[in-house]
Amino acid sequence: MPIYKYRSLQEAEAHLNQLLPADPLERLKRLEKLLVGLKPRPTIQRGLFKFKTLEEADQHRRNTTGV
């Protein structure tokens, strides 16, 4: 991303209006992309697990994913 220098705040605001897309949907897409990137990733247990019953496996899934 380039660095810009401005002599006044009005000059910076005018340039900002040129940089931002005029389409509100495009601005919303950019904002959504930023928010998805900032969201922490869920913790996932690594490894293989052996279960004797389907109920035991389902209980493990509920405890780890919260579903």
3-state secondary structure 12-47: HHHHHHHHCCCCHHHHHHHHHHHHHHHCCCCCCCCC
**What is the spatial distance between Cα 2 and Cα 11, in angstroms, rounded to a whole number?**
16
The tens place of each residue's pLDDT in the chain, 67 residues long, gives 688 899 999 999 889 888 877 888 988 998 899 999 898 877 777 889 999 999 999 999 888 877 6
Say which residue the tokens 């998805």 belong to.
Answer: 36
Residue 26, pLDDT score: 87
Q: Which candidate, 65, 61, 42, places its Cα nearest to that of 53? A: 61
Question: Tell me, what's the pLDDT at 46?
Answer: 84
CA dist., res. 44 & res. 64, Å (int)? 7
- Looking at residue 35, its pLDDT comes to 92
Q: What is the pLDDT of residue 58?
A: 93
